[in-house]
Chains A and B, each alone.
Chain A
Amino acid sequence: MDVAQLAQQLRSILGSRAVISEREQLRTYECDGLTGYRVVPSLVVLPETAEQVQTVVRLCNQHSIPFVARGSGTGLSGGALPIEQGVLIVLTRMRRILEVDLPNQRVVVEPGVINLWVTQEVASAGYYYAPDPSSQLVCSIGGNVAENSGGAHCLKYGFTTNHVTGLEVVLPDGELIQLGGKAPDAPGYDLIGTIVGSEGTLGIVTKITLKVLRKPETVRTLLAAYPTTDEAGATVSDIIAAGIVPAAAEMMDALAIEAAEAAVHAGYPGDAGALLIVELDGPAAEVEHQFERVVAMCRQNGATQIRIAADDEERVLMWKGRKSAFAAVGRISPDYYVQDGVIPRTELPEVLRKIATLGVERGVRVANVFHAGDGNLHPLVLYDGEEEGAAERAERAAGEILDICLEHGGSITGEHGVGEDKKKYMPRMFTEDDLRTMQLLRCAFDPAGLCNPGKIFPTPRLCGEVPGHHRTHPVEAAGLADRF
C-alpha cells in the first residue's frame, strides 16, 4: 500500500481533519526544537483518542510503515524527527486533563497536555507538579515522559520518572496496555520505569497518571554574583557538604549572563563572572535557618553581591533570566548548539576550565548555563551558520565537550535525550554489549522495528526474523539499519 492509499484509509476512519498529506502543511512538522535536522514526513496524523492511535499504529504494522510520535515538538535531540517514508503521529489534540484526585495527590492527563497546565489546574488547592523544564509553557507531558525531562527543581524532587505512577500505552504492535495507576508497587517488571525516558521508541503513551505535590510552606531564593565560576562552584560544594539539599542550584557564566540580560532584563549584575541562584523550600523553621547558613556560605566564598528575593515577583524575575537563557543566547549569536552533558558535581571546576580552553583552541565561544547541584551542564556553543565551516566547527567542539564529560565519569545527556543528535556518541559511553542488551529490551517491545526507528542507537539492529516479514524491511531500505 502506498502512502496516498493509507492517507485515504485513515481519512475515512479518523475524519479528514485528522490527516495531513499536503507537502506545505507537512513541512510544519519537519523538525523539533533541534532545527539542524529536517525531514518531511509522508503523512501526519492527529488522533484524538487512544483508540485512534491504535488504529493508526495497527495500519502502520499491516503495511510495515514506520511511525514517530510527536508532542509539542520542543525536543532538543531530534527525537521527534520524522521519517521520510513514515507517519508522524502528533498528540496535540489529546489534551484533556481527565481527573484531579487531590486526596491521592494524582492528576490523570492525556499526553498532549502542556506541562504547566498541570500545576495551573491544582495551584489554587495548594499543589503543584514538580518537574519544571524551562520549556514548560509549551512542552507536552507525553514528550516529558518520553524524554524523562528534568528542570531546575529536580535536584531535590527528582525527574519525570519519579512523578509518573501510571501509564496507558499503545505498544508498537497496536495493543493497548495499562500500567500502574494510583496504587504503588504493582507486581511485575517496572515497565513504567522502563518506558519513561525511552524517547518514544517503546510505544505511544496515551494517558499518564502524575503525582502532584503539596506546595511547600516557605520558599526562599537568592542570587549571588561572583568574580568567576570557581567561587560559585565552591559555594555549591559547601551547601551540599553541610547536608543541605536545595530545591535548586543554578549557575550561569559571564557570557550567559550577558545574553540573559540583553533578552529579559532580569536586573542581573552586569560585571559578574558567574551567577548562582539557590532556592530552598520546605517547612518554615527549617528553611529560615538553613537559608541563613547558605547566605553566609555565599559570603565566605567571595560573593560580590547577594540579592534575596523579597517576594514572589522578585523570585520570578530571578528565574526568568535563567529559564530563558537558551533563547536569550540568540541575542548574542545567530546560531548556537545546546549541549547537555553531565559530570559528577565535584569535577565542575576542572571541567569548566577544560571547556574554556577548548573554546579558545577551537575558536568558538561557549556560554555555560547549568544545573550546578546535579552537575548537568548546558554549554551553548555559539556560531554563525553563514560563516563557512562554522557549524561543523561548533558541532565538533560540542562533541569534544561530551568527551570531557565522559572522561570525568559523566554522561552525554542529562535531560534532553539522545534522539537523532547524540546517537553517534553512545559507543563512547557504552560498550557493544551494553548496547546489545538495551536492544533486547527494544526487541521485546518492538520486534518489527517500526516505532521511532533509527533513534538513540548508532547502529539500530532488527530483531531477527519476524514471522510474516520476508521482504526488505523499510528501515533497511531507508539505510537506517542492518539485519544481524
Chain B
Amino acid sequence: MRATPQVGTEGFQRIVGLEHVRAATPEDAIHGVQPALVVAPGSVGEISAVLKLASELGLAVAPRGAGTHLHLGAPPERLDVIVSTRHLERVLEYNPGDLVVKVEAGVPLGALQEVLAVSGQMLALDPPDGRATLGGIIATDASGPLRLRYGTVRDLLIGVTVVLADGTIARAGGKVVKNVAGYDLAKLFTGALGTLGVIAEATFRLHPLPDATRTVVVQVDTPGDAGRLVADLAASTLMPSAAELRWDDPAGPGQVLVVFEGIAPGVEAQAATLLEIAHPHGTAHIPDAGREQALWDQLRLPADFREGEACFKLSYPSADLEIVISAVLEEAQRRKILVRCSAHAATGVAYVGIREQDSVALPELVDAWRAMLAVHDGSVVVLRAPADVKPALQVWGPTGDALALMRRLKQQFDPGRMLNPGRFVGGI
C-alpha cells in the first residue's frame, strides 16, 4: 500500500530529528521527477530505521551523496524520499600502518584525501569531482586516469556495510586486504547505482603517495599515431600510472599524456625512455614541474564535466583505441558536428562530449557506436543527455544474456522495487 510521503514526515522526524527532514525543492528532482522529502540520517541505525519505515509506507527512495552524479541512469519510475548521506561523514578507523581506512558513506573523497595525505597515503581513486562522496563513488563505479595503475573501486574496496530496503543491516568483507570469507557483496554493490541497498560504510585499501611524479605530453596527428604510441607503451616495461588521450577538435591534433609516479630517479628514467618510445609517433616533451599541476587538473576532467554537453562513455578492448577514436571523429566530421573525445587510453574507456545543439544527431550516433562496439564486446553508456532525447537513447544499451539474473538479484534484495526503481539496466 503506497502512502503519501507526508504521512511519513513525522515518522522520519522521530527517527532522525526534526531538523534532518525537510520538504524537497525542485533542485532535489532527479531527471525531473520530484521527491517530497529529503531525509538525512546520522548513523547506520538511522538509515535502517528510515528505510524500514519507507518500505512499510511503500515509498520510493533514492540514496544521495553529494549529488554530483545524479544525471546517471534513466529517470526514476517513482520517487518520494531522498535519503541523503551528508551527515555520515566520519572517518571511522584509520591506521596508516595497515594501509586501510574505514569511512562513513557521506565522506567526500577530497576531504578523505586530505586526512590520508598527512600520513603520506592516498586512496587511489580520482574520479573527476573530488566533492563526490565515497558512497556515491562506489554506487556509480566512478573512476579516473589512475585506474590504469590502481584499478577501479572494485579493486580497492575491501569491506562494506549496506542497508537493504527492509532495513536489514549487513556487512561483508572486512578490514583486511586479503579475505575470501563469504560472498563479495562489496563487488555486487559497486556500480549498482543504489538499486540493491544503501551503502552506509566502506573500507578501502590505500596506497603510499608517490614522492615524485613526471608527466610526458605527446602531440599526435592521427588516432593511428595515438594507438601505436599507446601500444608501444603497453608493450614496454614502463609502469605508467595514467595514460590519457585528449582530442578536443576533430580537425586538429590530439594529445597523449602519460604520468609516472614513484621516486625521483625512477620517474626521470621512465619519462626519458618514453621520449624515445614516443619519437616515431609524435612530438613529445616533458613540461616543467610547475605546469604539472595544471595538466593534472585538466587530466581529471573528462568530457562529461562540461555544462551543456551530452556525454557518453564507450568501453572497448584497449588495443582498439585507434579504431574507436577514428570512428568517432570521422563520423562527427561527416555530420559536421563538433565532438570532444578523451580516453583512459590504455584501459579501453573513452568519453565523448557533444554540444547540446547537435542533439538531434544523437540517436543515430549512439546506434552507430553501439553497432561498432558490439563486435568488440564493448558498450556505450549515456552519462548525460538532454531530457527530451535521453529516453530514446537507452541509457545503458543492451546488457547481454545476464539481464534475467540481474533482475532476480534485484527481486531478492529489493522485492518492493523501492530503491531507485527504473534507473538501472533493463529498467531495474
Whether the pair B95, A286 counts as a contact (CB closer than 8 A) is no
Contact indicator A197/B191 (Cβ below 8 Å): no
Interface 9-residue window, one of B10-18, B22-30, B75-83, B264-272:
B264-272
Contact (Cβ within 8 A) A374 B177: yes
Given A181-B377, A285-B268, A188 contacting B425 (CB threshold 8 A) = yes
Report the nearest B residue to A406, measured CB to CB.
B174
> Closest chain A residue to B182 by CB distance?
A438
Q: How far is the CB of B108 from chain A (nearest CB, A)?
A: 23
12 new A-B contacts at CB < 8 Å, known A342-B176, A414-B176: A103-B231, A158-B155, A177-B401, A184-B318, A187-B397, A188-B424, A198-B183, A245-B207, A286-B267, A345-B99, A371-B178, A437-B185
**Could you say which residues of chain A place their CB within 8 Å of the CB of B347?**
184
B182 in contact with A188 (CB, 8 Å): no
A residues apposed to B, CB below 8 Å? 101-106, 126, 147-148, 150, 154, 158-159, 161-162, 166, 171, 175-191, 193-194, 196-198, 214-217, 237, 240-241, 243-245, 282-286, 289-290, 342-346, 371, 374-376, 409-418, 422, 426, 429-431, 433-438, 440-445, 447, 456
Min Cβ gap A467→B in Å is 14
A417: chain B residues within 8 A (beta carbon): 180
Chain B residues within 8 Å of A435, by CB:
182
* Bound-complex Cα distance A475 to B161 (A): 31
Residue of A with least CB distance to B153: A190
Known contacts A282-B239, A434-B172; is A193 also within 8 Å of B188 by CB?
yes
Q: List B131-156 residues whose CB lies under 8 Å from chain A.
A: 141, 151-152, 154-155
Are B183 and A243 in contact (CB-based, < 8 A)?
no
How many Å from the CB of A203 to the closest CB on chain B?
9
What A residues does B179 contact at CB under 8 A?
342, 411, 413-414
> Would A183 and B181 be within 8 Å (CB), given that A444-B409, A444-B411 are in contact?
no
Complex Cα spacing A66 to B295, Å: 58
- Asked if A186 contacts B181 (CB within 8 A), the reply is no
Across-interface contacts of A284 in B (CB, < 8 A): 269
Contacts of B338 in A (CB 8 A): none
Roughly how many angstroms separate A274 CA and B192 CA in the complex, as a whole number?
Answer: 46
Task: Report B180-203 residues with CB < 8 Å from chain A CB.
Answer: 180-185, 187-188, 190-192, 196
- Which residues does chain A contribute within 8 Å of B242, judged by CB atoms? none
Please measure, in the bound complex, the distance between the C-alpha atom of A381 and the C-alpha atom of B48, giving whole angstroms: 42
Q: Are B188 and A194 in contact (CB under 8 A)?
A: yes
* In the assembled complex, B328 has its CB within 8 A of some CB on chain A: no
Whether A189 contacts B406 by the Cβ 8 Å rule is: yes
- B235 contacts across to A, CB distance below 8 A: 102, 126, 214
Separation of A343 and B97 alpha carbons in the complex (Å)? 12
Q: How far is the CB of A396 from chain B (nearest CB, A)?
A: 20
Known: A177-B405, A214-B235, A444-B411. A374 touches B178 (CB 8 A): yes
Of B177, B178, B239, B403, most buried by chain A (CB within 10 Å of CB) is B178
Binds A, one of B32-40, B309-317, B360-368: B309-317
Q: Of all chain B residues, which has the CB nearest A242? A: B208
The reply on B66 being an interface residue by CB < 8 A is no
- Do the beta carbons of B182 and A456 come within 8 Å of each other? yes
C-alpha spacing A440/B172, complex, angstroms = 13
B412 close to A440 (CB less than 8 A): yes
B413 within 8 A of A: yes
Could you name 30 residue pairs across A and B whose Cβ atoms are closer than 8 Å? A158-B151, A175-B404, A178-B400, A182-B377, A183-B316, A183-B377, A186-B379, A186-B399, A187-B396, A188-B406, A189-B409, A196-B184, A216-B237, A216-B239, A237-B97, A283-B270, A285-B270, A286-B262, A286-B267, A342-B174, A345-B97, A374-B177, A375-B178, A413-B179, A434-B172, A436-B170, A440-B413, A441-B183, A441-B188, A444-B409
- Cα distance, A13 to B270, chains bound together (Å): 58
Tell me how far the C-beta of A359 lies from the nearest C-beta in chain B, rounded to whole angstroms.
23
Chain B residues whose C-beta falls within 8 Å of the C-beta of A241 in the assembled complex: 96-97
Q: Knowing A214-B237, A284-B269, A285-B268, say if A375 contacts B177 (CB, 8 Å).
A: yes
Interface residues of B in 230-268 (CB under 8 A from A): 231, 234-239, 262-263, 265-268
Q: In the assembled complex, how far is the CB of residue B269 from the closest CB belonging to chain A, in whole angstroms?
A: 4
B390 contacts partner chain A, Cβ-Cβ < 8 Å: no
Contact B155 A162 (CB under 8 A): yes
Q: At the interface, is chain B mostly helix, strand, loop or mixed?
A: mixed
The reply to whether A245 and B185 contact each other, CB–CB distance below 8 Å, is no
Asked if residues A183 and B405 are in contact (CB atoms below 8 Å), the reply is: no
Give every chain A residue within 8 A of B236 (Cβ-Cβ): 214
CA distance A193 to B192 in the complex (A): 12
* One of A147, A183, A346 near B98 (C-beta < 8 A): A346
Contact status A183-B172, CB under 8 Å: no
A468→B239 CA distance, assembly (Å): 56
Tell me if A193 and B174 are in contact (CB < 8 A). Answer: no
Q: Is the C-beta of B211 less than 8 angstroms from some C-beta in chain A? A: yes
* B175 on the A face (CB < 8 A): yes
User: Which of the residues A154, A161, A190, A375 comes within 8 Å of B188, measured between beta carbons?
Assistant: A190
| Residues of B participating in the A interface, judged by any CB pair closer than 8 Å | 95-100, 120, 141, 151-152, 154-155, 162, 164, 168-172, 174-185, 187-188, 190-192, 196, 207-211, 231, 234-239, 262-263, 265-270, 313, 315-319, 347-349, 373, 376-379, 381, 396-397, 399-406, 408-409, 411-413, 424-426
Give complex CA distance A190, B184 in Å.
10
Expressed in whole angstroms, the Cα–Cα distance for A147 and B184 within the complex equals 12
Give min CB distance, B318 to chain A, whole Å: 6
Q: Complex: how many Å from CA A412 to CA B180?
A: 8
Residues of B within 8 A of A444 (CB): 405, 408-409, 411-412
CB distance from B163 to the nearest CB of A (A): 10
In the complex, the answer to whether B266 meets A285 with C-beta atoms within 8 Å is yes
Q: B200 → chain A, closest Cβ, in Å?
A: 13
Bound form: Cα–Cα A426–B181 in Å: 8
- A342-B178 in contact (CB<8A): yes
Q: When the two chains form their complex, are residues A243 and B239 in contact, meaning their CB atoms are under 8 A apart?
A: no
Bound form: Cα–Cα A433–B403 in Å:
27
Q: Return the chain B residue nearest A412 by Cβ.
A: B181
- List, in ascending order, chain A residues with CB within 8 A of B399's CB: 186-188
Minimum CB–CB distance for B277 against chain A, Å: 13
Report yes or no: A188 in contact with B412, Cβ–Cβ below 8 A.
Answer: no
The residue that A346 contacts in the complex, of B97, B181, B378, with Cβ under 8 A, is B97
Partner of B402 from the list A162, A179, A216, A418 (CB cut-off 8 Å) is A179
Query: By the criterion CB–CB under 8 Å, are B170 and A411 in contact?
Result: no
Residue of B100, B170, B178 near A434 (CB, 8 A) is B170
Taking CB atoms, residues of chain B closer than 8 Å to A447 are 408
Is B176 within 8 A of A343, CB to CB? yes
Is B184 touching A194 in the complex (CB atoms < 8 A)? yes
**Contact partners of B97 in chain A: CB under 8 A:** 237, 240-241, 345-346
Q: Which of B184, B209, B231 has the most CB of A within 10 A?
A: B184
Q: A102 contacts which chain B residues (CB < 8 A)?
A: 235
Cα-based distance from A376 to B235 in the complex (angstroms): 33
User: Residue among A150, A187, A193, A371 with the most chain B CB within 10 A?
Assistant: A187
CB distance from B27 to the nearest CB of A (A): 28
Given contacts A161-B184, A344-B176, A436-B168, contact A283 B237 (CB under 8 A): yes
Say yes or no: A376-B178 contact (C-beta < 8 A), given A243-B209, A438-B185, A441-B185.
Answer: yes
A214, A289, A426: which contacts B266 (Cβ < 8 A)? Answer: A289
Chain B residues closer than 8 Å to A441, beta-carbon distance: 183, 185, 188, 409, 412
**Chain B minimum-CB-distance residue to A166:** B377
Is B263 a contact of A290 with CB atoms below 8 Å? yes
B263-A289 in contact (CB<8A):
yes
Do A184 and B315 have beta carbons less than 8 Å apart? Answer: yes
The 3 tightest CB contacts between A and B, nearest first, are A193-B187, A286-B266, A243-B208
In the complex, what distance in Å separates the CA atom of A267 from the CA atom of B314? 54
- Contacting residues, chain A, for B381 (C-beta < 8 A): 187
Q: Are B174 and A411 in contact (CB under 8 A)?
A: yes
Contact B175 A409 (CB under 8 A): yes
Name the A residues within 8 Å of B267 (CB-CB). 286
For the complex, give the distance between the alpha carbons of A364 and B211 in Å: 47
Task: Say yes or no: A171 contacts B237, CB within 8 Å.
Answer: no
Residue from B174, B196, B269 with most neighbouring chain A CB atoms (10 Å):
B174
CB distance from A182 to the nearest CB of B (A): 4
